Amino acid sequence: MNDPGLDDNITDAATQAQHTIKSQRDQGGLDVPESEDVSRSMPTRWWYASTAFPLIAGTFGPMANAFSVNALVENWRVSVPPGGTEQHGIDLKDPRWLIAVNSVSLVFALTANMSLLLNMAKRIRFEVAQPITIFGFWFASILLIGLLSFASSSAFDAPGVEDQALTQAFYYAIFAAALYQIISYLMCVTVWGAYRGAYSKNFELTPAQRTLMLQTISFLVYLEIGALVYCKVEGWKFLDAVYFMDFTLLTVGIGGEYTPKTHVGRSLLFPFAVGGIIAIGLVVSSIRSMVLERGAEKMSARMTEKTRRRVIAQVTKIQQRGRPSRKTFHGIGKDAIEGLAKDPADDHIEELERRHAEFQAMRSVQDMASKEQRYLGLTVSTTVFAVLWFVGAAVFWQAEKNQQWTYFASLYFAYTSILTIGYGDLLLMANASKPFFVFWSLMAVPTLTILISSMGDTVVKGVKDATIWLGELSVLPSSEGSTRDRLKQSMHRITNGKLSLVSNIHEKEEDTTHRVQEDEEARGDGLQNMPPGLIKLFKSAEDTHIDPSDIQILDRLAGAWSEEEIEGEHDAMDRDDRRAQAEHHYRHLLISQIPRVYAHTKQKVPKKYTYAEWTFYLRLLGEDEADSTLHRKAVLKSKAKGHYRQGSKQTAGEGDPDMKVKWSWIGQNSPLLQDKDEAEWILERLFERLEESSRQAAIFEKDERDESSTSS
């Protein structure tokens, strides 16, 4: 599979290196790190417990704190004058003990929130922080629930006041108590999973996820400060100003009674609105990162695993009953299915051909899982959006009964609000409506963002592709050539390859690809210093997004080290030392590939290597794809235990220490199933091999010097 002039060099260097390079660690080479395997095979429920639940607590904890503050700053009761409304009722002063208990609840909640923040920032250990977080939120909730229960009874009514109503502060307390209770139970699940050993006691979060809680706190503090300013400038009640700041910063723009009337208020809107929109944008961006990147990545990994197992199970059934009855199965071609059913030692098929079939099948599994993940994400985000819309409309309908809203009117109001249209023709008047609107809108805006992002990879992409296809059928130029070829290509895509009407098109594509590769080789493509034969195996990384200074430094280091290895190879050649010559040449090959693979790790779209490229890199790392003794047919469950290196001896665990661990491209230990991108996986192994080779060379030279000094 390698080019002439390179194959023998790689074989000699890799073979010699395998005899001289003995790992000094339990990890190295092509082994699958245990953390990667655990992360990939971790059930989805444990991912929720270890990552999603702490992030939910970090997002809704500060929100609940803000609601507690809102519940404390105003009285819980108003007297409604005859002919008036509860919106403009007269405040009835709360008992001192209610304010005291409410304040204690807020202190518990703030302590719990600070403990969670410091734990996420790795300032406090998990074992110390989590009890404070859980019990703090739980006690805060219990205290508020007690106050709410008393305030809902007739015992809380002010004597001598005929018509009374509960204020916005009371309803904010309801939301705060509910959030505290939910967060405490979610964190209990997180702690339980950690002590069961399902995952680490440290939060494995990305920088964006770690800052999510801080960004949420910043936004809510900004909103509360803005409300305080407008409360003073416009003469509004504080909670009415909170409502105004909410629909302003979220760009809903309902307006109505709560719009700036003073010159100062209108002037302050310029900086306040811009700053708030930036703050909410940062929060939404982090939430999107959590849901669409980490969540989708985990979902995709689980779907890949399930699809892989399903394919292996079906192939096993096909093998038991004979030849497959269909041309394709889950998008996997007939040849690939037959290859999967063969054993590595089968004389009826070449090992490279069988391995190539496995590789293509694994790629098909990944494509299927990716497609399922995208549409499942779209379904989930659409469902959440619909629930927010319909349930929110139901709440507004019940809360605004005094305005005689119909459910359809509530649907209309919720729809124009959740899409940030905000006509302002329907306005909220009830004290229960405004706190709910603040809570509901803070959830609705990120949900809408996630829905739009999910549509971008599915519905929008389909519309875009359909538009391009219609254009190519009519007037736009197309790479498929004739209209007949375009129709064939379209049918092939629509049926996921089930209609084999495009063989001539594939031949044209292969010819085009071959010509492009030849053109790149003729230009040199910046690869003049590469070993012979490598140019045709790789494309230049023109679409990489990499700091030029980084690649220049790496190129200089690699160039200097490579020259040193070339000089060492020439010296060994002069001494007729074939072992040293092979080692220097091997390290030269490793060094020459590191800058290229490093550039691949910086590409915006993760690099997916072809089978020829994987064959080359595996050969460079010491494994021959044509050697059937290192391979196995994929099975649903591997009986091997411990920690292994593919293609070499077992490095840890139980069993025969001389037993070689066999693997399959569609098996559990496949490099295509790891959490890392393919380029990162290869780069890590290249560095490990280079480190091992250099260490062993230093040890060998030291032994030679010791022998020379002893003999002299």
* Domain at 61, CATH number: 1.20.140.150
Which whole-number Å values give the CA distances from 227 to 110, 238, 444, in the listed order? 20, 6, 21
Residue 663 DSSP SS3: strand
Structure tokens, 182: 């939910």
* Residue of 422 and 477 predicted with greater confidence: 422
Question: How would you label 653-685 residue by residue, b for 16+ Cβ within 10 Å and e otherwise?
Answer: eeeeeeeebbbbbbbbbbbbbbbeebbbbbbbb
Q: Which of 457, 477, 503 is the last residue of a domain?
A: 457
Around Cβ 563, how many Cβ atoms within 10 Å?
A: 12
Determine the longest span between alpha carbons in the chain, in angstroms.
Answer: 115
Tally Cβ neighbours within 10 Å of residue 556.
11
| Per-residue pLDDT, 639 | 47
Other beta carbons within 10 angstroms of residue 218's beta carbon come to 15
Residue 181 has pLDDT above 60, yes or no: yes
Mean pLDDT confidence for 37-65: 80
Q: Is a pLDDT exceeding 80 seen at residue 510?
A: no
pLDDT digits (tens, 9 = 90+) for 204-223: 777 777 788 899 999 999 99
pLDDT, one tens digit per residue, over 253-286 is: 888 889 999 999 999 999 999 999 999 988 888 8
The dihedrals phi and psi of 542, each to the nearest 5 degrees, come to -75, -25
- Using one digit for the tens of pLDDT, what is the confidence trace for 53-78? 998 999 999 999 999 999 999 999 99
- Between residues 266 and 514, which one has the greater pLDDT? 266
Q: Are residues 288 and 307 in the same domain?
A: yes
For 424, how many CA atoms within 13 A lie in the half-sphere containing its CB?
Answer: 12
CB atoms within 10 A of CB 210: 17
Q: Which residue segment(s) compose the domain that 181 sits in?
A: 39-205
Q: How many CB atoms lie within 10 A of CB 100?
A: 10
Please report whether residue 508 resides in a domain.
no
Same domain, 24 and 70: no
State the Rg of the chain over Cα. 33
Q: Tokens representing 177?
A: 């108590």
* C-alpha dihedral sign at 474, 477, 483, 486: negative
Given this model, what pLDDT does residue 442 score?
A: 94
Residue 668 lies in a domain: yes
Q: Residue holding tokens 């098909």?
A: 364
| E strands present in 373-471 | none
Question: How far, in Å, are 107, 338, 438 from residue 111 at the CA level?
Answer: 6, 62, 24
Calpha distance 23→168 (Å, rounded): 68
Give the mean pLDDT of 327-346: 62
Q: How far apart are CA 708 and CA 340, in angstroms?
A: 55
DSSP state of 533: T
- If one counts every other C-beta atom within 10 angstroms of the C-beta of residue 87, the result is 20
Greater confidence, 10 or 95?
95
Q: Per 3-state DSSP, what percentage of the chain is helix, strand, and coil (rounded to 5)?
A: 70, 5, 30
Sign of the alpha-carbon dihedral angle for 108, 110, 114, 120:
positive
Q: What is the pLDDT of residue 331?
A: 60
Decide: 351 and 625 in contact? Cβ < 8 Å.
yes
- Averaged pLDDT for residues 188-192: 95
Token pair 């417990």 is found at 49
pLDDT number for residue 278: 93
337 within a domain of the structure (yes/no): yes
- Assess contact for 558 and 595: CB atoms under 8 A: yes
> For 332, what's the count of Cα atoms within 13 Å in the CB-facing half-sphere?
31
Burial class (CB in 10 A: 0-12, 13-18, 19+), 574: exposed
What is d(CA 82, CA 79) in angstroms, rounded to the nearest whole number?
10
Report the half-sphere exposure of 66 (CA within 13 A, side-chain side).
Answer: 26
User: What's the pLDDT score for residue 470?
Assistant: 76
Q: Which amino acid is at 481?
A: G
Could you say which DSSP state residue 294 is in?
I
Residues 165 and 253 in one domain: no
219 and 185 in one domain? no
Strand order in the sheet with 164-166: 90-92, 77-79, 164-166
Is the same domain home to 26 and 51? no
Kindly state whether residues 98 and 246 are assigned to the same domain.
no
Q: Which helix (H) or strand (E) holds 332?
A: strand 332-333
Distances (CA, A) of 3 to 7, 9, 582, 682: 6, 11, 19, 20
Q: How confident is the model at residue 345 (pLDDT cuts 50, 70, 90)?
A: low
584-641 pLDDT, tens digit per residue, is 677 778 888 888 888 888 888 888 999 999 998 888 888 888 887 777 776 666 544 4
Highest mean pLDDT among 109-113, 349-353, 523-527, 671-675: 109-113
CATH number, position 273: 1.10.287
pTM of the model: 0.75
pLDDT band of residue 346 (cuts 50, 70, 90) is low
Residue 488 lies inside a defined structural domain of this protein: no
Per residue in 220-263, pLDDT (tens digit) is 999 999 999 999 999 999 999 999 999 999 999 888 889 999 99
With b for 16 or more beta-carbon neighbours within 10 A and e for fewer, the 480-518 pattern comes to beeeebbebbbebeeeeeeeebbeebeeeeeeeeeeebe
Looking at the fold, whether 422 and 336 belong to one and the same domain comes out as yes
Same domain, 254 and 106: no
Does any domain span residue 17?
yes
Out of 205, 223, 255, a domain closes at: 205
Q: Same domain, yes or no, for 250 and 166?
A: no
Question: Structurally, how many domains does the chain consist of?
Answer: 3
Which of helix, strand or coil describes residue 621? coil
Kindly state whether residue 519 falls inside one of the protein's structural domains.
no
In which band, very low, low, confident or very high, does the pLDDT at 21 lie, cut at 50, 70 and 90?
Answer: very low
- Last residue of one domain, picked from the residues 412, 429, 457: 457
Q: Average pLDDT, stretch 96-101?
A: 96
pLDDT in tens, 357-383: 888 888 888 888 888 888 888 898 899
Q: Give the pLDDT of residue 507.
A: 45
Do residues 216 and 59 lie in contact, with contact meaning Cβ atoms separated by under 8 Å?
yes
Q: Is the confidence at residue 528, as pLDDT, over 60?
A: no
Residue 604 CA to residue 124 CA, distance in Å, equals 35
Which pLDDT value is given to residue 243?
96
Q: Domain check: are 153 and 219 in the same one?
A: no
Q: What is the mean pLDDT of residues 492-499?
A: 56
pLDDT at 516 exceeding the cut of 90: no
Query: In the prediction, which pLDDT does 429 show?
Result: 93
Q: What is the spatial distance between Cα 6 and Cα 590, in angstroms, rounded to a whole number?
A: 13
**What mean pLDDT is predicted for residues 667-681?**
84
**Are both 381 and 320 inside the same structural domain?**
yes
Average pLDDT over residues 15-37: 41
The first and second tokens of residue 13, run together, are: 């260097």
Is 97 among the domain residues? yes
Amino acid in the structure at residue 382: T
Mean pLDDT of 555-559: 53
Report the pLDDT value the prediction gives residue 1, as an integer from 0 to 100. 41
For residue range 390-442, list pLDDT tens digits in order: 999 999 999 999 999 999 999 999 999 999 898 989 999 999 999 999 999 99
Q: Compute the distance between CA of residue 569 and CA of residue 587 in angstroms, rounded to an integer.
A: 10
User: 198-202, 341-345, 694-698: which has the minimum mean pLDDT?
Assistant: 341-345
Q: In this structure, what DSSP letter does residue 671 have?
A: G
Is residue 78 classed as helix, strand or coil in its secondary structure? Answer: strand
Round to whole Å and give the CA distance between 252 and 416.
8
Do 157 and 175 belong to one domain?
A: yes
- Identify residue 348 by its one-letter amino acid code: H
* Integer Cα distance of 583 and 591 in angstroms: 12
Portion of the chain with pLDDT greater than 90, in percent: 33
Confidence band for 154, pLDDT divided at 50, 70 and 90: confident
**What's residue 605's pLDDT?**
83
Nearest by Cα to 87 from 165, 172, 174, 170: 165
481 in any annotated domain: no
Mean pLDDT (the chain) is: 77
Which DSSP string do the residues of 543-559 spell out, in sequence order?
A: TB---HHHHHHHHHHHH
